[in-house]
Amino acid sequence: MTTQGFGWYGAPALYTDEHEAVWKELVDRVHAKGTKIFLQLWHMGRQSHPSFHPTNEVVSASATQYVGGTTRNASGERCDFEKARALTTEEFPEVVEMYRQCAIRAKRAGFDGVEVHGANGYLVDQFMQSVTNQRTDKYGGSFENRYRFLDEIVEALKTVFPAGRIGVRLSPNGVFGGMGSKDNNEMFTYAFERLSEHGLAYLAMLDGFGYSSESRTLTVFDAKKAFKGIVMANNSYTRDTAEGVIRSGAADLVGFARLFISNPDLVERFRNDWPVNPVPDYKFFWDSATGDEGYNTFGHYKPTSNGQEEEQP
């Protein structure tokens, strides 16, 4: 969404006129199929790499370093993460404006709404969690202060899209990106309650795997009790488990992503009880350096009188 927030080798972006023009072509194709599409606003924070940025630095809630994983630099070379610089209090209006400007571009490109990526150890999550937020100003310490950055982002986005066209994605249980804080249960329950004030389109809750042992696991049902609105469960669901969690009332809908990689016609497969391909190997959707094979080379299901046949794209 911005040069400051970019940092995943080969990732798509939306912060130039060229990006906007290409996204408009894609959005038009989606709309031609009668489908809605939201843009996810993603700032990587300390999970970026300095080589992507003219300033040769990455920013975060505090001057911390993600240790225990590797990334790729701007040349595609595997390397360690580096220590981030803590954003100054004076920089927050500028960073929040980056989110708003990206939302403006998204609206011009025809997107139906936007989703704030507040999960998986990226910038918003780095502010929410005490393991990465060591600040003593108004953006650190208390639950209210650690939530403040996300709240300011949502308020800014509401000047571009109505609240009913804005979603937020959170992962209170995740360990990805070096996350997992002892007070996550209380922190994210507070965030769910505060987000209810905005009348958002939905809250997306990542609850499928990678649980932290630092705090009690928050279930999607916990989110549903605290957030007064539509709750989307997400991560590692099958058709059966998705239908189960919806029938139970713990969630209103379930999002799928990885299954769409290996099943570009996933909706039709569910609707017609056709076989579903397994999720592709992790490396194919995780590391863009592996290329297209195994990522966008799956075909559509074509039923025949003799059984299953895969129709190539």
Q: Percentage helix, strand, coil, to 5, in the chain?
A: 35, 15, 45
Q: What is the C-alpha separation between 72 and 95, in angstroms, rounded?
A: 24
Is 122 among the catalytic positions? yes
C-alpha dihedral, 123 to 128 to 133 to 137, nearest 10°: 100
Q: How many CA atoms lie within 13 A of 305 on its CB side?
A: 0
Q: Are 44 and 85 in contact (CB under 8 A)?
A: no
Decide: residue 25, CB within 10 A, 0-12 exposed, 13-18 middle, 19+ buried.
exposed
Q: What's the alpha-carbon Rg for the chain, to the nearest Å?
A: 20
Single out the catalytic residue among 122, 139, 147, 190. Answer: 122
CA angle 68, 74, 79 (to 5 degrees): 25
Q: What is the C-alpha separation between 241 and 238, in angstroms, rounded?
A: 5
Q: What is the C-alpha separation between 241 and 247, in angstroms, rounded?
A: 10
C-alpha dihedral, 162 to 184 to 204 to 133, nearest 10°: 60
Residues recognised as catalytic: 122
